[in-house]
Structure 1
Amino acid sequence: MTFSKRIAGVLAILGAIVLSGCVGSGNAISISLGEAINLSQSNSFSKVAIDTGSGTMSMTVEAQTPIPITDSNGTAATASNGSVLTANIDSLNMADLKSLGFVFPVNTSTNAAASNLTSLLIYLGIPALFILMFIFFARRQAAGGDVAGFGRSGAKLLSPDRPKVTFADVAGVEEAKQDLQEVVEFLKDRAKFQAIGATIPKGVLLVGPPGTGKTLLARALAGEAGVPFFSISGSEFVELFVGVGAARVRSLFSEAKKMAPCIIFIDELDAVGRQRAGNIPGSHEEREQTLNQILVEMDGFDPNIGVIVLAATNRVDVLDQALLRPGRFDRRVTLDRPDTNGRIAILKIHSKGKALAKDVDLELIVKQTHGFSGADLAELMNEAAILAVRRNKKIIGMEELADSIDRVLAGPERKSLAIRPRDKELTAYHEAGHALVARNLPNIDPVLKISIVARGSMGGYTRFLEEDRYFITESQFRSTLATFMAGHAAEQMIFNEVSTGPHGDIKQATDIARKMITEYSMSDKLGFRTYGQTTVQGYLGIGPPETKDYSEDTARQIDDEVRVILENAHDTARKILSENRPRLDHLAGILLTKETLEGPELEKAFTEPITEKPAANPADSTGPTGQSQS
């Protein structure tokens, strides 16, 4: 019998119980207390029942012929032998009714206790019964049953006839594809590996930042292998009731063994595979039982021959070490953000089916997308297509691609935002300061674009043509810090005050300066060591972001060193801006007119002779500033 049928049967029984309590009172005639007293004095009742709990009295008529009565509404009626009449007695008892002249027959009862018990059963018994039923079914399921499908895994089995994703649809992760290609070959030809004594890893863990293609790579593996592919999220194992997650794990592996060779893919493994807390109060017993069952299934007494577990996570640091040991997840495949070649390959894949203009240069676009993940690049191409449609174009041009990069990085344009002239002027000098300092410093990437058009939460931005770097030198850090501090220095020099605009620049600069001291040992004063270590504590990975392993005196020295580095960067920026004040005014003036500078126009603004006189000092104007900048 299914769970739904059982519930329907129980509800039918409960309905019958409730209705049975109403039988006998549904056809009763309500009369006034005075009418009841008159009828009792003529010995018209064979039975009287008083319910003091509800304040009513029920009377059964005994008469040879129908008795004329008047109901509580004043309507004339008749009562025959066996008819039931009711009257409202409020809080009166038998003694009170006798004093009013009511004559009780021999068969008289007071059922207040029974009535209260019935009401209690109706109002409390039914909810309690539902709770007991739910606990019963949960216990049955936890013991290995499958009531209502609680213990079923819920994994999706990919249909063989659905459109397939293959390794050809994945780019920028060539080494990861090579690692997974061996899994495909094993599933297709196990004998070749067994002949030489090789065994394929039981588990493959895909590790990488969000958007780097872990799930896409898993789908590609399913398409290449051509074997049954079970897909489930780690959060789907976790349930409120203890034992449910473990039962789902058993169900999943049981189904997989029947269809071996096959692949089980668990997305977001950290949702269920976090470190166990041991005896720490507040540990999640259900999550731990589920994890224990996964550990047993992956490397227990009963080997899963032909079942390969593929999992993905971006929080490998919080996973239980028992999951990561050889024999469970034997192979770790790391996916990182793609380099230049990888981004070109990814853009070519996502540009398929899109009408691109002949002048579109994907290599130039790639140089502007440093740090983009595969998901970011997919969004970039889609945003460019949407912009082309919005502009009533039939092809996607470089303009749409460039705008979509800004949209992904900073958000949509906010041209309708009402900005005061003074705030707009402040933004122009702020961004011109960034660009001019970067132009005059070594080790800084070329300035690609300057804009004072608000995007997202930024009032303006300066974008650079960044290169892929794997190492950063101290001189590069110091040049970067001076560029960050240039917006603040420009505002201070031109307006004799600063706004809230540079807060984002100062925060980034402070983070870099602190890392230079505490992580990269770029301080002669503090020597060659690191200060503080990042830790993840507790079952849920909740804990202090950093553990101090140094004294308070050292902490003061670190603060002093960070302040010195930032002050030097600010001084460098201010010196460059002072020496190039006419160029700063020139850049700001052009930005106020055109709002955006890039390409040849930007290069011309940096190099063309300045013939006009510098603009009047904007500090002469008055009024507070508050527009947030980059």
Structure 2
Amino acid sequence: MGKEIMIGTIPVVIAFLVFIGVNVAPFIIAAVILSFLTFVIMRQGGMSVAQKKTPIDTPKTTTNFNDIGGQERAKKEVKEALDFLIHKDTLKQYGIRPLKGLLLTGPPGTGKTLMAKAAANYTNSAFVAASGSQFVEMYVGVGAQRIRDLFKEAKQKAEKNNQDSAIIFIDEIDVLGGKREGSQHREYDQTLNQLLTEMDGISTSETPRVLMVAATNRADMLDDALIRPGRFDRQIVVDLPDKKARKQILEIHVKNKPLAADVDIDAIARDTFNFSGAQLESVTNEAAIYAFRENSKEITQRHFSHAIDKVMMGEQTDRESTAEERERVANHELGHAIVSEVVRPLSVSQVSLRPRGQALGYVRQSPQQDRYLYTVENLEHQIMIALGGAVAEEMLYGGRSTGSRNDFEQALNLVNTIIDCGLSQLGIVKMDMVSREALHEERQRILNELLEETRAILRSYFPVFQHAFDHLIREEVLNGEEFRAMMAEAKAMPRKNNVEDLESHLINS
């Protein structure tokens, strides 16, 4: 109301002064200059009224560590660090300096944010959260000012709630904590410097005590000054869950869902190798959506199978292919499946001819055990599985198609891994110290040998194409048990003396 009165009064005063003969030009110029300076100060300082009235606010967290499936080692490390906040009086007896910061690293969706929320609940601390991108603005000084406001708010929130400690969580800290580049000055540097200053200001005598928790999936990009001891004292890896942890996560997310008697959580955990916690939650949610679409009262194993495919490959598309393309794709995928089942028994979970994402068909594999260390034999088996589709097309159609492009990229990456890890005939080498010709020859040698082994496997199980092909074209999906039964039947059949006649028969049919 006062602003409106002032806006209406100023023109009247100016008009009156002009009427009585007073020169108002100096007053107008001074008012314009003062307004401009005020505007610049407000923009550079990031202290607009709107910003002051809108502090970063985070509701009280109810998440606890029992809500996080798996990650037992990471949870143990976090709890140990948090115990320093809880048992602060005992620290003095041992002369322990309390930790100032925890850095959670790991792939996206593994539960880093959940871990931070559970930490606040575990210690009964005030919890304030922000993302790194919130501190980066186009106006100079805004990020640094928000850092100051964040620490101030955390302490005020703890004092207001009569809490002895506060936890500040910054997600995507690599956005503001990236490595500084020589003498170049960036707005990020000013924000980072302010963060370092605030962290250094935390001491054991302060009440409430503040603990910084940050998360990133690019720890290698962080500035050395940020991750040195005394700032982020602990780096805790929150990695992708193993099979046991995946089962725990799935059990947490299916508690409120009506499951059918045929649902096998162990099988789902096995089929979701390399899935993050977020992806596993999405699998259970998508399975419930499939059941809802069918108006089914219970969620069945089939719904979970569809959900895994959707999370892994994307939604099923309406892409219509010709009969010739469908037949070629079917034989291509069967080539992958046959080789996979021979070199890794019980690995094929499903062969599908339903297009999802960019794929016209796919083979879903379910490893019998999680593997994190690979021998040259393991890598060669992966390459042979990748080459199986293209070799099947060669044997049945006399040539390859563009559908093998991604398979070849995967195979070449695996070949480079063999060479780079010193598992090839070149021995232990540094890639940039070997000539391009030598590398090319070694790649070709490895690929040619594995191509011959792949052809030999497919020739041995050639009858599988005839039996599985008809089923796959008709039903579009072939599950692992049915496929293994066809493999066993083909193995029991007498070997054909003339494989070319069988190839010709399949092509003509």
TM-score (normalizing by structure 1)? 0.71
Q: How many angstroms apart in 2 are the aligned matches of 1:463 and 1:517?
A: 28
**Quick check: 1:584 aligned with 2:465?**
yes
SS at match of 1:608: helix
Residues 333-377 of structure 1 deviation map (CA, whole Å, 9 limit, x = unaligned): 111100111111101111111111122110111111111110110
Change (3 A) 1:563 1:444: farther
Partner of 1:550: 433
Q: How many angstroms apart in 2 are the aligned matches of 1:302 and 1:184?
A: 16
Give the unaligned 5+ runs of structure 2.
20-24, 159-163
Amino acid at match of 1:366: A
SS at match of 1:388: helix
**Quick check: 1:201 aligned with 2:99?**
yes
Q: How many angstroms apart in 1 are the aligned matches of 2:391 and 2:350?
A: 20
Q: What does 1:518-533 correspond to in 2, within 5 Å?
A: 518=420, 520-524=421-425, 526-531=426-431
SS at match of 2:182: coil
**Quick check: 1:488 aligned with 2:390?**
yes
**Quick check: 1:210 aligned with 2:108?**
yes
Amino acid at match of 1:468: D
Partner of 1:239: 137
Q: How many angstroms apart in 2 are the aligned matches of 1:476 and 1:213?
A: 30
Q: What does 1:366-445 correspond to in 2, within 5 Å?
A: 366-414=269-317, 416-441=318-343, 443=344
Q: What does 1:84-95 correspond to in 2, within 5 Å?
A: none
Q: How many angstroms apart in 2 are the aligned matches of 1:490 and 1:454?
A: 20
Q: How many angstroms apart in 1 are the aligned matches of 2:202 and 2:219?
A: 26
Q: What does 1:229-268 correspond to in 2, within 5 Å?
A: 229-258=127-156, 259=158, 260-268=164-172
Percent of residue pairs bearing the same amino acid type: 36
Q: How many angstroms apart in 2 are the aligned matches of 1:156 and 1:341?
A: 36
Q: How many residue pairs are counted as aligned between the two chains?
A: 485
Q: How many angstroms apart in 2 are the aligned matches of 1:128 and 1:325?
A: 47
Report the more deviating stretch, 422-431 or 562-571. Answer: 562-571
The alpha-carbon deviation at position 132 of structure 1 amounts to: 5.0
The alpha-carbon deviation at position 5 of structure 1 amounts to: 7.3
Residues 407-436 of structure 1 deviation map (CA, whole Å, 9 limit, x = unaligned): 11112223x432211001001110111111
Q: What does 1:179-190 correspond to in 2, within 5 Å?
A: 179-190=77-88
Q: Does structure 1 retain, via aligned residues, the 8 Å contact 2:84–2:99?
A: no
Amino acid at match of 1:461: Y
Of the three residues 224, 237, 254, the one matched with 1:334 is 237
The alpha-carbon deviation at position 444 of structure 1 amounts to: 6.1
SS at match of 1:231: strand
Q: How many angstroms apart in 2 are the aligned matches of 1:277 and 1:484?
A: 42
Of the three residues 129, 134, 152, the one matched with 2:39 is 134
Amino acid at match of 1:208: G
Of the three residues 192, 210, 213, the one matched with 1:291 is 192
Of the three residues 59, 68, 83, the one matched with 1:158 is 59
Report the more deviating stretch, 394-403 or 258-267. Answer: 258-267
Partner of 1:33: none
The alpha-carbon deviation at position 152 of structure 1 amounts to: 8.1
The alpha-carbon deviation at position 325 of structure 1 amounts to: 0.3
Change (3 A) 1:130 1:591: farther
Residues 296-330 of structure 1 deviation map (CA, whole Å, 9 limit, x = unaligned): 11114977831111111111111000000000000
Partner of 2:485: 604
Partner of 1:276: 180
The alpha-carbon deviation at position 155 of structure 1 amounts to: 2.6
Q: How many angstroms apart in 2 are the aligned matches of 1:172 and 1:248?
A: 35
The alpha-carbon deviation at position 567 of structure 1 amounts to: 2.1
Q: Does structure 1 retain, via aligned residues, the 8 Å contact 2:461–2:487?
A: no
Q: How many angstroms apart in 1 are the aligned matches of 2:31 and 2:324?
A: 71
Q: Does structure 1 retain, via aligned residues, the 8 Å contact 2:85–2:98?
A: no
**Greater helix percent: which structure?**
2
SS at match of 1:201: coil
- Structure having greater relative contact order (Cα 8 Å, sep ≥ 6): 2
Q: How many angstroms apart in 1 are the aligned matches of 2:228 and 2:506?
A: 65
Q: Which of the pair has more CA radius of gyration?
A: 1
Amino acid at match of 1:449: Q
The alpha-carbon deviation at position 129 of structure 1 amounts to: 8.7
SS at match of 1:440: helix
Amino acid at match of 2:449: N
Q: How many angstroms apart in 2 are the aligned matches of 1:395 and 1:209?
A: 33
The alpha-carbon deviation at position 438 of structure 1 amounts to: 2.1
Q: How many angstroms apart in 1 are the aligned matches of 2:196 and 2:82?
A: 24
Q: Does structure 2 retain, via aligned residues, the 8 Å contact 1:158–1:228?
A: no
Residues 63-108 of structure 1 deviation map (CA, whole Å, 9 limit, x = unaligned): xxxxxxxxxxxxxxxxxxxxxxxxxxxxxxxxxxxxxxxxxxxxxx
Q: Does structure 2 retain, via aligned residues, the 8 Å contact 1:187–1:225?
A: yes
Q: How many angstroms apart in 2 are the aligned matches of 1:301 and 1:200?
A: 10
Residues 253-274 of structure 1 deviation map (CA, whole Å, 9 limit, x = unaligned): 2333443521111111111101
Q: How many angstroms apart in 2 are the aligned matches of 1:603 and 1:472?
A: 25
Q: How many angstroms apart in 1 are the aligned matches of 2:202 and 2:295?
A: 65
SS at match of 1:338: coil
Q: How many angstroms apart in 2 are the aligned matches of 1:200 and 1:214?
A: 22
Partner of 1:170: 68
